């Protein structure tokens, strides 16, 4: 649900703005979300035996609580400068910092030609396909338990989430079409390794209730080779009825001199009626193909269902049940991580949560 933002108009005199006498007053927005859930989770059936199992735990889990400061300045000629500073503000006492975890921070220039941003931003395909997930990030039900994280089984970074040290371009929307491009500098070159620079591209097309996305990502290996991901996503919202979604990703990496492959997919559905909403989803990956791991069961699958109540435009209450099945050599975790999941363990969880935007 889109946050309802409280806007504070102010002329702020910090840094260079104090010297820029010609600068116009800047609109500063303070916004964010406070979100948490109480959940009961377990991870049992580990390949190593019951000693590696995690018995049922009851937790209060933060669900991406954040505070954001953003603003724009009119530069004239239809151009603008803007910034976004985001900090984690977890409600479970784990501490929060700006720019860490899932928080984004960037500065940019925009106009009729599009937007250019420097900083930490979500990867283009993740942004373009995120609407297919009926659940919020960092919940038990999120498809992130399988989708986007499959490349980790190849030794590659996830295909979703944020990229640091990045330069981003977003085109304007033209007849429903939009292009997003990103370059992320590895900044980790050593005398014996290469910088793991990353390039990402995604295009979206929207018409009526249909949203489609196509994305590609390429990353250099530290020693040799590369990792690549291709993604397809689509959602269709029927007026007065359900919203259906699908995602498919294909990944490959040859960091070791041998090409490894894995794919993942998800089917999702949500059905709002009045203030109420039913949600369900199923996701799975193929397991690693080629290489030593191909002889082991590295597959994972995840399903979830539940209910959400929109108490207002800014407050959501929800209940969800999720189940994550791991093959004998797989150790996927919920997006609301249980932690230390042993290979072969199957996870189960039930959660009651609340999200409030400000």
- 29 Ramachandran zone, left/alpha/beta (phi>0; psi -120 to 50): beta
Average of per-residue pLDDT across 250-261: 91
Give the confidence band of 240 by pLDDT, cuts at 50, 70, 90: confident
Tens digits of per-residue pLDDT, 203-231? 999 999 999 999 999 999 888 889 999 99
Boundaries of every domain in the chain: 33-63+115-357
Phi then psi for residue 267, to 5 deg, are: -120, 135
Q: Write out the CATH class of domain 33-63+115-357.
A: mainly beta
Q: Is the pLDDT of residue 200 over 60?
A: yes
Tens digits of per-residue pLDDT, 8-32? 333 333 333 333 433 444 679 999 9
Task: Check: CB of residue 262 under 8 Å from CB of residue 238.
Answer: no
Q: Which two tokens stand for residue 236?
A: 């269709």
Instruction: Return the pLDDT at 99.
Output: 60
Q: Is the pLDDT of residue 1 over 70?
A: no
Pairing of strands 276-285, 260-273: antiparallel
CA 187 to chain centre: 23
Tens digits of per-residue pLDDT, 98-117? 766 678 999 999 999 999 99
Q: Between these two residues, 15 and 167, which has the higher pLDDT value? A: 167
User: Is-above-0.75 flag for pTM?
Assistant: yes
Q: Is the pLDDT of residue 325 over 70?
A: yes
Instruction: Return the pLDDT at 322.
Output: 99
- The C-alpha atoms of residue 29 and residue 48 are separated, in whole angstroms, by 51
């Amino acid at each position: 649900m889109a946050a309802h933002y409280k806007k504070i108009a102010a002329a702020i005199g910090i840094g260079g703005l104090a010297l820029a006498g010609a600068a116009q007053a800047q609109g500063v927005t303070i916004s964010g979300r406070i979100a948490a859930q109480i959940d009961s989770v377990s991870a049992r059936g580990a390949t190593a035996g019951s000693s590696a199992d995690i018995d049922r735990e009851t937790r209060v889990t933060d669900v991406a609580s954040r505070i954001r400061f953003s603003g724009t300045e009119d530069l004239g000629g239809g151009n603008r400068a803007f910034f976004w500073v985001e900090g984690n503000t977890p409600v479970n006492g784990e501490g929060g910092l700006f720019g860490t975890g899932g928080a984004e921070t960037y500065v940019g220039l925009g106009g009729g030609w599009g937007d250019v941003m420097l900083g930490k931003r979500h990867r283009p395909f993740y942004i373009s396909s995120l609407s297919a997930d009926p659940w919020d990030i960092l919940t038990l039900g999120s498809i992130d338990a399988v989708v986007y994280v499959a490349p980790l089984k190849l030794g590659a970074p996830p295909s979703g989430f944020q990229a640091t040290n990045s330069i981003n371009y977003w085109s304007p929307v033209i007849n429903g079409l939009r292009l997003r491009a990103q370059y992320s500098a590895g900044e980790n070159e050593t005398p014996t390794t290469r910088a793991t620079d990353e390039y990402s591209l995604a295009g979206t097309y929207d018409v009526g209730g249909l949203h489609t996305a196509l994305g590609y990502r390429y990353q250099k290996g530290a020693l040799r080779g590369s990792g690549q991901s291709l993604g397809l996503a689509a959602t269709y919202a029927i007026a007065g009825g359900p919203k259906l979604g699908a995602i498919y990703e294909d990944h490959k990496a040859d960091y070791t001199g041998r090409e490894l492959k894995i794919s993942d997919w998800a089917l999702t559905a949500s059905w709002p009626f009045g203030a109420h909403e039913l949600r369900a989803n199923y996701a799975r990956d193929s397991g690693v193909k080629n290489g030593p791991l191909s002889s082991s069961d590295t597959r994972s699958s995840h399903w979830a269902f539940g209910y959400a109540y929109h108490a207002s435009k800014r407050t959501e209450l929800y209940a969800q049940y999720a189940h994550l099945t791991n093959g004998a050599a797989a150790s996927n975790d919920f997006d609301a991580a249980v932690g230390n999941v042993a290979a072969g363990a199957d996870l189960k969880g039930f959660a009651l949560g609340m999200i409030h935007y400000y």
